[in-house]
C-alpha cells in the first residue's frame, strides 16, 4: 500500500484536486462531451474515467455523479479496462527494461484501442440514450492549497479503507496457497489457455490468475514463481520470456479481470450480476485480443 499508494495514487489525487479547485473540471466535461457521446456517455464521465488512471476503486464510486444507470454501467465498464497505476507499472516494468520504450508505447496504444472498441460494443448492446450535459461553467481561479490537501487526503483515506482490507486478505490467501503447494496444481487447468492460446509459459498463467488479488502482483509473482521453479537463472522475466511474450502478457494483464477491490466496488455500486458480467466481458476481450496478438508477434 505504501509503495503503490503514496507515489502513484496520492500524487494523482493531489493533481486531480488541483484541477478541481482551479475550476477546470466543468470545462473538461463540456470539451469531452462530443467524444464520449460516441461511447454513449456525457462529458461528466470524463471525471471518473480520468480518476481511473489513479485507481479503479474510487473511479467506480465516482460514477454516482452520472445521470442514468446506463451511463454508470458504460462508464464503469470503461473504468475496469482503463490501466490504473498498478497496471501501468506492470506494463512499464515488463516491457521497458526488456523490450524498450517503443513496445511499451505500442502496448498502451493497443490497450486504448481495445478499451474504445469495448466501449463502442457496450454502447450498442445496452439499450437507452445519452443524457445531455447542462452544467454551469465554473470560473478559473487559483487553487487554495489547504482545500487541495483536504480533498486529496479524504479521497486517499477512502481508498485505503476500501482497498487495504481486501489486499491484506488477498495476500494471506495467496500466501496460504503458495506455502501449501496448491498454487502449482493450477497450471494443468490454465495451460490450455496460457500455453496453447496465448503462447506464454505456464507460470504466466498463475501470475495472471492471482493478479486478481492485487494487480501489481502480476509482475512480481511472475518473477517469483520463475525463481522458485528455475532457480537463479530466472532472476528477471526477460530471461525466460521473449519480448513478444512480454507484450502479450502486458496487454492481457492490463485489459483483463479487475482486481478484487474493483470487483467489490462494482458490486456495491451496480450489483453482483452487472459486476460479474463486466468482469467476464473484460476477460473475453483480453483473451481474444491476446491470442490474436500472440500470433501476430510470433509468440504462439
Query: What pLDDT, on the 0 to 100 scale, is given for residue 294?
Result: 93
- Those residues whose C-beta lies under 8 Å from the C-beta of residue 14, and which sit 6 or more positions away, are 148, 149, 152
pLDDT at 213: 75
Quote the pLDDT of residue 198.
92
**What distance in Å separates the CA atoms of residue 243 and residue 99, rounded to the nearest whole number?**
5
Average per-residue pLDDT for the chain: 82
pLDDT (0 to 100) of residue 247: 93
Per residue in 15-36, pLDDT (tens digit) is 878 887 888 777 777 888 888 8
Res 106: pLDDT? 93
- The series of mean pLDDT values per 10 residues for the chain, 300 residues long, is 65 80 79 82 83 82 82 91 84 85 92 91 81 72 88 81 72 79 81 90 84 77 71 64 90 86 86 90 92 87
Output the pLDDT for position 4.
58
Amino acid at each position: 500500500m505504501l509503495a503503490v499508494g503514496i507515489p502513484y495514487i496520492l500524487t494523482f489525487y493531489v493533481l486531480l484536486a488541483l484541477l478541481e479547485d482551479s475550476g477546470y473540471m466543468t470545462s473538461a466535461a463540456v470539451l469531452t462531451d462530443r467524444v464520449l457521446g460516441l461511447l454513449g456517455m456525457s462529458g461528466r464521465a470524463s471525471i471518473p474515467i480520468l480518476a481511473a488512471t489513479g485507481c479503479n476503486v474510487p473511479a467506480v464510486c465516482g460514477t454516482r455523479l452520472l445521470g442514468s444507470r446506463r451511463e454508470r454501467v458504460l462508464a464503469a465498464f470503461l473504468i475496469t479496462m482503463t490501466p490504473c497505476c498498478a497496471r501501468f507499472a506492470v506494463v512499464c516494468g515488463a516491457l521497458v527494461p526488456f523490450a524498450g520504450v517503443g513496445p511499451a508505447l505500442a502496448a498502451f496504444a493497443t490497450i486504448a484501442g481495445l478499451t474504445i472498441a469495448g466501449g463502442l460494443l457496450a454502447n450498442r448492446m445496452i439499450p437507452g440514450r445519452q443524457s445531455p450535459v447542462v452544467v454551469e461553467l465554473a470560473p478559473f481561479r487559483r487553487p487554495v492549497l489547504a482545500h487541495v490537501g483536504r480533498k486529496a487526503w479524504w479521497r486517499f483515506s477512502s481508498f485505503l479503507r476500501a482497498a487495504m482490507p481486501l489486499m491484506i486478505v488477498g495476500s494471506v490467501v495467496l500466501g496460504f496457497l503458495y506455502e501449501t503447494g496448491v498454487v502449482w496444481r493450477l497450471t494443468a487447468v490454465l495451460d490450455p489457455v496460457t500455453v496453447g492460446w496465448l503462447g506464454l509459459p505456464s507460470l504466466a498463467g498463475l501470475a495472471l490468475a492471482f493478479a486478481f488479488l492485487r494487480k501489481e502482483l502480476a509482475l512480481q509473482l511472475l518473477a517469483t514463481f520463475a525463481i522458485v521453479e528455475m532457480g537463479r537463472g530466472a532472476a528477471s522475466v526477460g530471461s525466460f520470456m521473449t519480448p513478444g511474450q512480454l507484450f502479450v502478457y502486458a496487454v492481457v494483464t492490463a485489459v483483463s479481470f479487475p482486481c478484487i477491490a474493483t470487483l467489490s466496488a462494482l458490486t456495491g455500486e451496480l450489483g453482483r450480476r452487472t459486476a460479474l458480467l463486466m468482469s467476464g466481458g473484460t476477460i473475453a476481450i483480453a483473451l481474444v485480443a491476446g491470442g490474436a496478438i500472440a500470433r501476430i508477434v510470433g509468440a504462439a
